[in-house]
Copies of this chain bind each other. A is one copy, B any other.
Amino acid sequence: MEFILEDISEAEVARRRAVYTPLTDTVRDLVDAVIRTEVPEEDLPEARRRIAEVVADLRTRQMDGPYGVRHTRENTGMAWGNAVIGVRNALAPPIDVVHAADGVRADFTLGAAYEGPPGNVHGGVCAMILDHLLGNAASYESACFTGTITVKYLRPTRLGALTAQAWVTEQSGRKRIARGTISDDEGVTCEAEGVFIVPKSAVDGPSVRWSAG
């Protein structure tokens, strides 16, 4: 597994982030609009045609495979294709993970595109976000991979404003145990515990303070 060095300054990372964020946000908006639109069906082929034209233009020059996981010399993570946090990935809510002394935290909003049961977040989406957050908490020294994760659903998670938190409860050798929760304004809706493994190759490698999931 190859991580790519982007040999650019922190200012250049910020500049590029500002270029791609509005584009990705607009695609997120489109995903939502396609789910919720009630315009006459006969208008849809034309909408499709216009989107396909943009796709064709964007594809005139593109990378061969997926975006990969990139980082700067300062170990700023640029997992911009990532399914949960990707700046260029409209599937990602995105989750903006903030590091704190006691772990990590993210405040985010999930709309129509994350629905499972009526009006509620898909249980699998909760599992996805918790996997990422716990992995992120466990990656405080070095990127690591999920070994096992257990998610317990206490009650449905309403679509809307949510908070996820995660922290490390135990560590020994290359193994980390992390716990976390998702909460709405009435408290915790689901909780998780995971076992994370630091790859052997990473033990003597650079310190990367982020997780790719």
Residues facing B in A38-56 (CB within 8 A) are 38-39, 41, 43-45, 47-48, 50-55
Instruction: Evaluate whether A51 and B51 lie within 8 angstroms (CB atoms) in the complex, with A116-B213, A127-B149, A150-B149 already known.
Output: yes
A153 contacts B by Cβ under 8 Å: yes
Contacts from A to B (Cβ < 8 Å):
1-4, 16, 19-20, 22-24, 26-27, 29-31, 33-39, 41, 43-45, 47-48, 50-55, 57-63, 65-69, 80-84, 86, 88-91, 111-120, 122-125, 127-132, 135, 145-153, 156, 159, 212-213
- Distance A67 CA – B117 CA, assembled complex (angstroms): 10
Check A27 against B30 for contact (C-beta < 8 Å). Answer: yes
Partner of A1, one of B38, B119, B127: B119
